[in-house]
Structure 1
Amino acid sequence: MNALAATSRNFKQSAKLLGLDSKLEKSLLIPFREIKVECTIPKDDGTLASYVGFRVQHDNARGPMKGGIRYHQEVDPDEVNALAQLMTWKTAVANIPYGGAKGGIGCSPGDLSKSELERLTRVFTQKIHDLIGIHTDVPAPDMGTNSQTMAWILDEYSKFHGYSPAVVTGKPVDLGGSLGRDAATGRGVLFATEALLAEHGKGIAGQRFVIQGFGNVGSWAAQLIREAGGKVIAVSDVTGAIKNVNGLDIAQLMKHSSENRGIKGFHGGDAIDPSALLTEECDVLIPAALGGVINKDNANDIKAKYIIEAANHPTDPEADEILSKKGVLILPDILANSGGVTVSYFEWVQNIQGFMWDEEKVNAELRTYMTRAFGDVKQMCRSHNCDLRMGAFTLGVNRVARATVLRGWEA
């Protein structure tokens, strides 16, 4: 099942639990606007290359639409639609005043020079600048993009609209970015995991963790888990996978990964088959890479007691059912990885106010928001006698539905 079908299925199940009117249900599912643009740039060798860019603006009932822009060769309308819809429910679960959006360009960023990436970003911004804005749609980094990409978007957008730091989040701190933003998604994963484990009388200390993906989210989560006393026994990235049952030295692993552009060759653990990482013996499994990695083919072999979805849509619905029957508790993506968009909200607030917070305030506020969101999800689970995924979806969908009706929607 592809990401859009799976996301829509979860939405429809939550709508049924909530007893939503069928017309309202259909209205909430259909995107507000879908944008598709051609981006033609001169390459460094003088040839011309064309790429297709997308921006799906899903819903703005609760505030400006919010979501990342990813550069990846597999970006397509279905994926962007699914991720935009997830952002709508995610911002509602976090209870921040945003709707949902997502964007991307179908390209391989590793094959483009820095100057080519800048030209591509600026052309894309030129094509969509009149459809994004501080109170309309606020992009952020995603897979294949970073703070530099956001700086280019900010600069290009400002040529048309005047200096507008709040038009994007995830910017460099020197251009109005927030302290603590780089670590925000990984730190949010830590706070969400703490909340889940506390429900079962446990803490981070002493638990064995396996993390798939050692990019920004996975590496920060690993570092913070290690600092909290957890034992990260296996990790993977695109270059390979490593394991050490006594716990990996995360600081040394991060240094190795930075210097060698991947974890392959790290001497502090044994190399293992990356495809076997998800089924390693552990207490907590954190998929922090691509979607659809946990499926019906490997779900039966997963040995973790808890799964924290740091990636977007890492678990297929079929796998969800298998894992549920096994008693595995899954903290869904729209809660588990909402730390990034929450601190993006803090960044946006700081930009609008023209007042910068210190990092301690950012982290303290993030803990408050993540802990409160977990409590709200648990309350929905009790109210509707459902699992954490449906608890999160019913919470998010209910908040968006209420805002839509209050603003004057009529059947």
Structure 2
Amino acid sequence: MAAGAPRIFVSHLAGVAVFDPNGDQVGRVRDLVVMLRVGRKPPRVLGLVVELSTRRRIFLPMTRVTSIESGQVITTGVLNVRRFEQRPTERLVFGELLDRRVTLVETGQEVTVLDVSVQQRPARREWEIDRVFVRKGGKGGAFRRKGETLTAEWSAITGFSLEEHGQGAESLLATFEQLRPADLANVLHHLSAKRRAEVAAALDDDRLADVLEELPEDDQIEILGKLKEERAADVLEAMDPDDAADLLAELPEEEQERLLMLMEPDEAADVRRLMAYEEKTAGGLMTTEPIVLRPDATVADALARVRNRDLSPALAAQIYVCRPPDETPTGKYLGTVHFQRLLRDPPYTLVSAIIDDDLQTLEPDAALPVVAGFFATYDMVAAPVVDESGSLLGAVTVDDVLDHLLPEDWRETEFHLDGDEGVAPHAP
């Protein structure tokens, strides 16, 4: 390779913006597609997997990449927007090569792949993987973290062509650690079932719970089924109760009961209560954990609760004022205080003095069309669900309504663009 050819480590390409020649962003890099070659020849980089703003993933051949520099990728501007589909002879760098355990040819020592670098060949517009950044010490744990790191030529490594069992996921997760749960869920959905299980095993309970809530039902069931039952129960506890109830409802009754018995009693009670309602009703859609305050709480108290980073924007948009008990089902529901109103009043103001008590409430058996009509009529992002006795049971948020209004496979089909929806032949 030419002495001046730039060498780029692929970890620096994760999430990098892709621009057309006019400077308009067309998407972000989500992976690199390579083809392994016989012997010890470096793999050829076929192209990039680019995620468009619509979340559709397309293939961008390296022949259409004019430059990779300063944290950006520039293309010729000619894009085929058909969805990417991996071929049997291709490998994904982030999804399949990182964290793989391979062997140093000279010493026979086992090492773990942390990163690889790519470089452009001088004579043509071809790119190759030229070097591998590895850590000595084999599998994970403290030994791995303390192991020596080194960069080796591709030819000095063997083992990439072998199917990997028990492949780690730490480097892959580090690559995508800044992704929102919905985007990380999209990454998992496009991995193989084996790799998906390994990544799920490496995520902590809260992160996995957030990601599961964004995955299609088939992926949720597959991942949950590969976890040990104790951990599956912990993850269900970390999920929003309504999402946990929806997921459990897809499992056989015997498995539902086993997992519910392993959950903390209070958490399981909330989920059982939600599972008692029909799925497409206000009771089936609601979460049992909205912000509830007593009438003598102040605006300062309310704002402190709203600041909780674990709350979704929809749940943080308003608080519900109720008489004790404070947890759902509460005492008598008195009204709602909207977030904007909290910003307009002094911190010492009692929430009971600024409640909106004219807002209609939803009955727990209200059907989905009624719930959707409520949101459209009142321009709301969340709505209280109140029973016949006047107790607050929970709140329905607009994202849960949309989940049930959209086609069942919307997470898998993404948002379609105009034109042919077929799979493009993408290898150059």
TM-score if structure 1 supplies the norm length? Answer: 0.25
Kindly indicate which of the two structures has a greater share of residues assigned to strand: 2
More helix, by proportion: 1
Greater relative contact order (Cα < 8 A, sep 6+) = 1
